[in-house]
Structure 1
Amino acid sequence: MAKKTTTLDKSITHFLSPKHWLTWCFMGIAYLLSYLPWSLQQGLGKYLGRLLHLIAKRRRHICDVNLKICYPEMTDIARKALTKAHFESMGKGTIETFSSWFQDQKKFQSRTTFEGQEVVDNVLAKGRGCILISGHFSSLDICGSQMPRFMDVHPIYKLQTNPVMNWVMERQRQAIFSKTIERTNMREVLKSLKQNKAVWYAVDQDYGRKNSVFAPFYGRQCATIAHIGRIANMTNAPVVLYDYSRTKNGYHLSLTEVENYPSQDDIENATRINELMQAVIEPKKEQYFWTHRRFKTQVIPDTPSPYDK
C-alpha cells in the first residue's frame, strides 16, 4: 500500500507522470460534473449510487453487516431498502464532493440553513476555543464547506493514499478553511484551541485498539476514540455537537453545546459520544456512512472481524 503523505509542499509538476494520468482524467470529469445544476447533480448522484450498489460488492457487504448489528430487528426487505437508499445517498455525496472542490461555495449559500449562532457566540466568549464533534454523513464535504460562514473551523483530516487526490483535497480545504490539521498533529490542535478557534473531529470511525476505548454503539462494544474527552479535560474547551444533513432543497447545519461533558472516565466519555452519534443518525439513517467498518476492532484480540466472509 502506498504511503500516505502530505502534498502541500509539492507543486503539480510532481504528479504529471503517466502513472497519474488516469486519476487526472477522473479529476477532469469531476470538474465538469461540478458545473451541473444542483437538481441534475442530485439525480445523477442517485443513479451513480445505484450503479455502485450493483458493482461494489465488498462495500455492500459491509453495509449489510453494519445494519444487521445495529438493527437486528429489521426485516430483510427493510434492510435491503435502506442499503439501496444509502448507496443512492453516497452517490449524491460523491457529486457534492466535486462541487465542494471545484465551485465557489457562495453558490450553495441560498440552499443552506443554519441553526446555532447563539451557540457559536456563547462557546467562543469563553475564550478557550471549542471542539466540534460530528459523524460521517454523505453530505460531509459540501456541508463542511459552508461552516466557515458561521465560525472559524479547523477540520481534522485524514490523508489519502492517492497523491493526486491528496493534492486536490488538501488545496481545496486550504482554500475554504483558514487552517486544516492532519489527524496526528496534536500540537496544532492545542494551538488552535488556544487561539479560540473551533477544531472539528468526526468521531465515529474505528482507529484501532491503540487509540481507542471500547464503548457501546447501538448496543455493541466498539472501538471509540478516547482523546475527545482527554483534550476537553486538558484545555477546558467546550464540546459542541455538529449535525448536518441533506434536505429536499439543500442542506441544514446545526450546533448544540454538549453539557456536563467530559467526565474523568474515558469509557464514560466515549459512551456519551456514541449516544450523541446515534441520536443524529436516526432521523437520516440512509445518509450515514454504513460502508465504514465501524466494528472491525474486536474487544478480544484475534477475534475474527464481523466483516470476514
Structure 2
Amino acid sequence: MAKKTTLNQNITHFIAPKHWPTWLGMGIAYLLSYLPWTIQKALGTGLGKLHYALSRRRKEICHTNLHICFPDLSEDDREKLARAHFESMAIGVFEMFTAWFRNPEKTATKVTFNDQEVVNRAVAKGKGCIMVGAHFSSIDLCGTQIARFIDVHPIYKLQRNPVMNWVMERQRQAVFSKTIERKNTKEIFRSLKDNKTVWFAVDQDYGRKNSVFAPFYGRECATISHISRLAKSTGATILLYDYGRTKDGYLLSLQEVKGYPTGDEVADATLLNKLIEQHIEPKREQYFWSHRRFKTQKDPQDPSPYKIKKR
C-alpha cells in the first residue's frame, strides 16, 4: 500500500474489516501505555530477549554493524551488546506507546534538561534552528519531551500501514505545533523563516542520490548532504540533540554546533557523524544497530555487508 498522509481523512476511512487487526493492536498499545514505567521496562526487557531469540534477520544486521563499528570487541562482548540493544529497542516500543497515548506531562518528572539557555540564544538570532541528532531507542518519548522546551517541527516518515499513520500523525499534531513529512521541502523553509526549529535525524542511509560518503566509526557510509546546504541558504543555527534513557528517567541535551557549515559537504557530514559517535559511546546499546546503516556502498560494485548468511 502506498504511503499517504491521513491528516485530511477522518476515522471512517479506516473502519473496514481489513483494518481491525491493526486497531486491535492499537487498543492493546493504548492499555500498555498506562502501565507503570518500571513494569514497562521489565516487559520490554523480556520482549527484547524473545525478539533476539526469534529474529534472525535483525540479529544478523545488528551483529554486522557491531563488527564493522567495534572490530576490537571480543565476540562475547559483541554478543552482550547485541542482546542489550534488543532489550533497549523493545523498551523503546513501550516508550513509543506512552508518547502516542499519554500526555507528555505525565513523563515530565523523569526528564532532565539543563540547556534552556542554549535554546534561548539560538532562538534570539531569529533565523530558525536546525536540530540534528541520531536514532536512539527512546526517540519517540524523548521527541515529545524536547517539545516542552523548544518549538520543534519534526521531520517524519510515513508508514505503509494507514491506521498507524492515522494514529501517529494525530498524536504528533497534539504535541508539536507542526510536523513535516520528509519530502515537503517547502514547509521546511517556511518553518525556518518563521524562526522555528526543524528536527532531522541524520544517521540513516537514504541512498546515493541524497548523500555524500563520510566516515562513521571508520567506515565510509552514505550520509545525508542537504543539512549543510539548508544551513548555508537560511543561516539557521545548528543544534545538536542528544537524548537517552538513564537508570531513573531520561536525559536531554542541546548544544550549538559552531563553525557549521564549513562549505564542504563531506567535511560537514564527517563532523556530524563524529558528534553522533560521541553521543553513542556512553549508551551504545540504545543506538539503532539493527538498521542497515551501511547498505549503500561507496563503490556500487561492492557487495552489501548485510547479505544473509546461509546456515
Letter in 2 for 1:175: A
Q: How much has 1:115 moved relative to structure 2?
A: 2.1
Map residues 130-141 of structure 1 onto 2, 5 A cutoff.
130-141=129-140
1:254: how far off? 0.5
Q: Structure 1: which amino acid aligns with 2:251? A: H
SS of the residue corresponding to residue 147 of structure 2 reads helix
Residues of 2 paired with 1:93 and 1:233: CA distance? 35
C-alpha distance in structure 2 between counterparts of 1:302 and 1:209, whole Å: 13
Q: Which residue of 2 aligns with 1:19?
A: 18
Match of 1:181 in 2: 180
> CA shift at 1:142, angstroms?
0.5
Structure 2 unaligned blocks of 5 or more: none
Q: Distance in 2 between matches of 1:53 and 1:264?
A: 43
* Counterpart for residue 162 of structure 1: 161
Paired amino acid for 1:125: A
Shift of the alpha carbon at 1:69?
0.3
- Give the corresponding residue for 2:275: 276
Letter in 1 for 2:4: T
The aligned residue for residue 68 of structure 1 is 67
Q: Distance in 2 between matches of 1:204 and 1:57?
A: 24
- Superposition TM-score, scaled by structure 1 size: 0.98
SS at match of 1:63: helix
List alignment gaps of at least 5 residues for structure 1.
none
Encode CA deviations 1:218-245: one digit per residue, 9 max, x unaligned: 0000000001111000011010100000
Q: Structure 1 counterpart of 2:140, which letter?
A: D
Q: Which amino acid aligns with 2:84?
A: A
Q: What is the match of residue 108 of structure 1?
A: 107
Secondary structure of 1:253's counterpart equals strand
Task: Return the alpha-carbon distance in structure 2 between the equivalents of residues 30 and 200 of structure 1.
Answer: 26
For 1:75, give the aligned amino acid: S
Taking the aligned partners of 1:4 and 1:299, their CA distance within structure 2 comes to: 29
Q: Map 1:77-226 onto structure 2 (within 5 A).
A: 77-226=76-225
Deviations 1:243-293 (A, max 9, x none): 000011111100000011111111111101100110100010000000110
The one-letter amino acid of 2:108's match is: Q
Counterpart amino acid of 2:49? R
TM (norm. structure 2) is 0.98
Please give the root-mean-square deviation of Cα atoms over the aligned residues, in Å: 0.7
Cα displacement (A) at 1:211? 0.3
Task: Give the paired residue count.
Answer: 308
**One-letter identity of the residue aligned with 1:85:** A
Which range moved further: 299-308 or 288-297? 299-308
Percentage of identical aligned residues: 61
SS of alignment partner, residue 280 of structure 1: helix
Determine whether 1:242 maps to 2:241: yes
SS at 1:289 equivalent? coil
Post-superposition offset of 1:55: 1.2
Partner SS for 2:300: coil
1:34 to 2:11 alignment: no
SS of 1:224 mapped into structure 2 = strand
